[in-house]
């Protein structure tokens, strides 16, 4: 909260209001420090269930649990200050009924303090979306390729490749918009279909593999950073973080083996700890911040080597 009591963080209606006015920028985020960086440039951060694949090594998003989403969700909410944080509802946590969905979505919001949830599905989830929104839960929908259905679809396949599929995908988009979703992710569909949907619904479309015809874009952060070993066609890699990590680890291992690391600069010659509390023998445990030499103000020198 700011001094005058207004929340600084963007909320779902702010994202909806951008339609037709400004392009919406978003990324997935799974940990506090990268969330803090992305927060400066993104309107919303998605704690997507792709974390199961890019962080935890699962082959699909199906095994992801509510606990995992909550753990990463808390980290991202702690790291981001301004962007709306949206958390993906994992497979099995919302499909059964609107009331089960409400219970799990409310739990995720209470546990993480995120501002919205996302769930996969168009027409089939419209009733649930309306139920959630009526009860105070902002919902981002996700249509086109819905990775939680990978076992039914038979792979991570682009959707709407055949024009005869377009009408149903357009109906999905219209249904989630009518149900009250504040935005909809369009994944892996052709540009002309994304353009038609974007023109015909009142809520923003967020594309991932759905062309620049959308109102905004999202990518999985690890994919665009060059950290994922294999990425879909629609990903542009804006960095080579995987290579940078490997180079750094290689150099570290070489220096440790050669005995050139650690050097004097990384070695405590005078061992200082945090201030003494309640008498000379009870020493406060130093925090990580106090461990840099000469960092804290009130210190007691206890030994020197
Ligand atoms: O989980 C995820 O990363 C997503 C994006 C593909 C939008 O849902």
Tell me if 62 is assigned to some domain: yes
Both 69 and 195 in one domain: the answer is yes
Both 224 and 282 in one domain: the answer is no
- Give the whole-angstrom CA distance, residue 127 versus residue 231: 34
- Residue 220 structure tokens: 């999985």
pLDDT of residue 193 exceeding 90, the answer is yes
- Residue 239 structure tokens: 């960095």
Q: Catalytic positions, please?
A: 187
Both 110 and 193 in one domain: the answer is yes
Both 195 and 68 in one domain: the answer is yes
Domain that holds residue 289: 268-304
Give the residue, 124 or 279, on which the prediction is more confident.
124
pTM: 0.89
Tell me if 261 is assigned to some domain: no
- Give the whole-angstrom CA distance, residue 63 versus residue 50: 11
Both 23 and 63 in one domain: the answer is yes
Tell me if 201 is assigned to some domain: yes
Whole-number Å distance, alpha carbon 20 to ligand 1 midpoint, is 23
Both 145 and 279 in one domain: the answer is no
Both 145 and 284 in one domain: the answer is no
Q: Which residues line ligand 1 (CB under 6 A)?
A: 28, 46, 48-50, 88, 142, 185, 187, 208, 218, 220
Q: How many angstroms from the chain centroid is the CA of residue 171?
A: 27
In the chain, the number of structural domains is 2
Q: What is the CATH number of the domain that holds 171?
A: 3.20.20.60
pLDDT per residue over 240-267, tens digit each?
A: 999 999 999 999 999 999 999 999 999 9
- 189 touches 172 (CB < 8 A): no
Both 279 and 170 in one domain: the answer is no
State the pLDDT confidence band at 225, using cuts at 50, 70 and 90. Answer: very high
pLDDT score, position 269: 85
- Give the whole-angstrom CA distance, residue 249 versus residue 269: 26
């Amino acid at each position: 909260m700011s001094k005058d009591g207004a929340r600084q963080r963007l909320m779902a209606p702010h994202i909806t209001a951008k339609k037709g006015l400004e392009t919406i920028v978003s990324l997935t985020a799974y940990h506090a420090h990268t969330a803090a960086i992305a927060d400066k440039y993104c309107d919303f951060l998605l704690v997507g269930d792709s974390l199961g694949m890019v962080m935890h090594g699962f082959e699909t998003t199906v095994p992801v649990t509510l606990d995992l989403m909550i753990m990463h969700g808390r980290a991202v909410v702690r790291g981001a200050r301004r962007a709306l944080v949206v958390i993906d509802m994992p497979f099995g946590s919302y499909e059964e009924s609107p009331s089960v969905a409400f219970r799990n979505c409310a739990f995720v919001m209470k546990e993480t303090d995120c501002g919205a949830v996302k769930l996969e599905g168009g027409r089939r989830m419209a009733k649930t979306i309306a139920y959630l929104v009526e009860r105070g839960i902002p919902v981002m929908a996700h249509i086109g390729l819905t990775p939680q259905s990978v076992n039914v679809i038979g792979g991570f396949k682009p959707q709407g490749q055949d024009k005869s599929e377009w009408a149903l995908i357009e109906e999905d988009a219209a249904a989630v918009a009518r149900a009250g979703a504040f935005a909809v992710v369009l994944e892996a569909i052709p540009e002309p279909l994304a353009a038609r949907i974007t023109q015909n619904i009142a809520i923003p479309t967020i594309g991932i593999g759905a062309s620049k015809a959308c109102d905004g874009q999202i990518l999985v952060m690890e994919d665009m950073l060059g950290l994922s070993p294999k990425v879909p066609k629609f990903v542009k890699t804006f960095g080579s973080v995987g290579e940078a990590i490997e180079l750094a680890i290689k150099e570290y291992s070489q220096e440790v083996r050669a005995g050139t690391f650690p050097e004097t600069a990384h070695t405590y010659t005078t061992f200082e700890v945090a201030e003494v509390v309640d008498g000379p023998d009870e020493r406060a445990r130093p925090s990580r911040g106090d461990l840099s030499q000469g960092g804290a103000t009130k210190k007691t020198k206890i030994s020197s080597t």
